[in-house]
């Protein structure tokens, strides 16, 4: 497996992994209508990721030429200004059929190492509060539960999130 910076040609695979991840992990947590909209908005997701790749750092996990996971992060706290952090992991996704193979751990460790190289001290990430498998993973990777009061807004529906802070 190779962890590398994402390229613009990786964006369709990134969008597909994100959509597949939501459909597999969030059934029962996210309104079915919102999940169906996620599937229908593939072109919009590709466009959004194409814009974001210019201002945020994306990395991908590649296995035998196939993108099997990705992560997106920023070296500031612009998305979580109310927390004493200096960087944020915004997304960590692994193809559903590739989970439990160390891909998520490799992506997480890569991001943490990059932040350490930059002299960053505290990282935050957010996940849906009811996503207990992801919460268990984030805790196993050293995250400490920081907050359960922030909501994620999707199509006018509010979904509570849990924040995890990492001492780097």
pTM attached to this predicted model: 0.90
pLDDT in tens, 117-155: 999 999 999 999 999 999 999 999 999 998 766 788 888
Cα distance between residue 142 and residue 149, in whole Å = 21
Q: DSSP assignment of 92-109, as one string?
A: EEE-GGGTTSSHHHHHHH
- Contact yes or no for 86/77 (Cβ under 8 A): yes
Kindly report the number of other CB atoms within 10 A of residue 8's CB atom. Answer: 11
Q: DSSP assignment of 30-78, as one string?
A: B-HHHHHHHHHTHHHHHHHHHHHTTTSEEEEEEETTEEEEEEEEESS-T
pLDDT in tens, 77-107: 888 888 899 999 999 999 999 999 999 999 9
Q: What is the pLDDT of residue 149?
A: 67
pLDDT in tens, 100-109: 999 999 999 9
DSSP state of 14: H
Q: DSSP assignment of 110-154, as one string?
A: HHHHHHHHTT--EEEEEEETT-HHHHHHHHHTT-EEEES--EEEE
Phi, psi values for residue 52, rounded to 5° = -65, -30
- Tell me which architecture the domain covering 2-120 has in CATH: 3-Layer(aba) Sandwich (3.40)
**Higher-confidence residue: 109 or 52?**
109
pLDDT in tens, 107-116: 999 999 999 9
End-to-end CA gap in the chain: 24
Q: Where are the domains of the chain?
A: 2-120
pLDDT band at 160 (very low <50, low <70, confident <90, very high): very high
Cα distance between residue 144 and residue 72, in whole Å = 20
């Amino acid at each position: 497996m190779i962890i590398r910076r994402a390229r613009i040609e990786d964006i369709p695979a990134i969008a597909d992994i994100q959509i597949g991840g939501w459909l597999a992990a969030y059934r029962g947590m996210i309104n079915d209508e919102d999940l169906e909209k996620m599937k229908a908005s593939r072109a919009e997701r590709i466009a959004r990721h194409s814009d974001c790749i210019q201002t945020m750092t994306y990395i991908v996990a590649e296995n035998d030429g196939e993108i099997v996971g990705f992560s997106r992060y920023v070296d500031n706290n612009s998305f979580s200004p109310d927390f004493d952090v200096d960087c944020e992991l915004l997304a960590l996704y692994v193809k559903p059929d590739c989970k439990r193979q160390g891909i998520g751990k490799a992506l997480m460790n890569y991001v943490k190492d990059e932040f350490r190289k930059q002299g960053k001290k505290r990282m935050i990430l957010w996940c849906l509060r009811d996503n207990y498998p992801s919460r268990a993973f984030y805790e196993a990777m050293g995250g400490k539960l920081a907050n359960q009061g922030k909501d994620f807004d999707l199509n006018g529906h509010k979904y509570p999130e849990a924040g995890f802070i990492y001492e780097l």
